[in-house]
Structure 1
Amino acid sequence: MTDHKGAPVFVKVDEYKEILDVLDLIKGRIKDIKETLGSIDQLRNEEDSEISMWNRTVEDIEKKIDNIDKIMFEPEQSW
């Protein structure tokens, strides 16, 4: 077998232009995908922040309920 690495490739000009158009289309789609992934990542970060806030709020409420529970059922120890 003959090794053809680096050998010139000949294509018709119209096929070459079509290949360039396809490559431009692919590059455009890749750009769109990256933008979409960036948006998804931003949304995920916002959701994570919101969920963290909810968790802190629930923990705060839980502490307050525990405190009320102690006051209600162990009044002599809470004073």
Structure 2
Amino acid sequence: MGLFSKKSDKINKSIEPTLPRLPDFPGSGSDSSGYNGGVFDNFPSYTPSFSTANLPSEHLLGEKKSYVPQKNAKMYMNGNEKPLFVKIENYKDAIKMLERMKEELRKTDDILIKLNEIRSNEERELETWHSEVRKLKDRLLEIDKKLFESEEA
């Protein structure tokens, strides 16, 4: 047998001790109603001046509240079941991706600025060409008028 094995119950539970019978008290005969006056009439009555206090029961006082930590200590936001904490690797990857996106956006902005400059330069060139064409038309009209006036005269 091991050192810490259970010992078998040696006490026989079938033997009950014999106890003497309780004595009969006066006035407690077969009347099961309890109080029937008589002996207790000489005592003063007591009425409490305050209500009974709401004390916690003994089983609540004896309980110790213990905190059991969870295996995965994740905090959840507003019940959406999304973890508040992020792994460092994921955080670093997200930061790198954000930096790349910022760089690409900066390049895109630069390209758009250059395109706007090119468009404005084209507009200026087209406007100068339109003005040159108008001047040429005006000169042709002037020459046309001078040629046809001299023939009529």
* 1:40 equivalenced with 2:115 (yes/no): yes
* TM-score, length basis structure 1: 0.85
* 1:18 equivalenced with 2:71 (yes/no): no
How far does the alpha carbon of each residue in 1:28-76 deviate from its partner, in whole angstroms, 9 at most, with x for none? 0000000000000000010000000000000000000000000011237
Provide the residue aligned with 2:147 in structure 1: 72
The DSSP-based 3-state class of the residue aligned with 1:74 is helix
Identity of aligned residues (%): 27
* TM-score, length basis structure 2: 0.45
Higher helix share: 1
The DSSP-based 3-state class of the residue aligned with 1:9 is coil
Give the root-mean-square deviation of aligned CA atoms. Answer: 2.2
The number of residues matched between the two structures is 75
Provide the residue aligned with 2:132 in structure 1: 57
Tell me which amino acid in the other structure corresponds to 1:37: L
In structure 1, runs of 5+ residues without a counterpart are none
Q: Distance in 2 between matches of 1:4 and 1:34?
A: 40
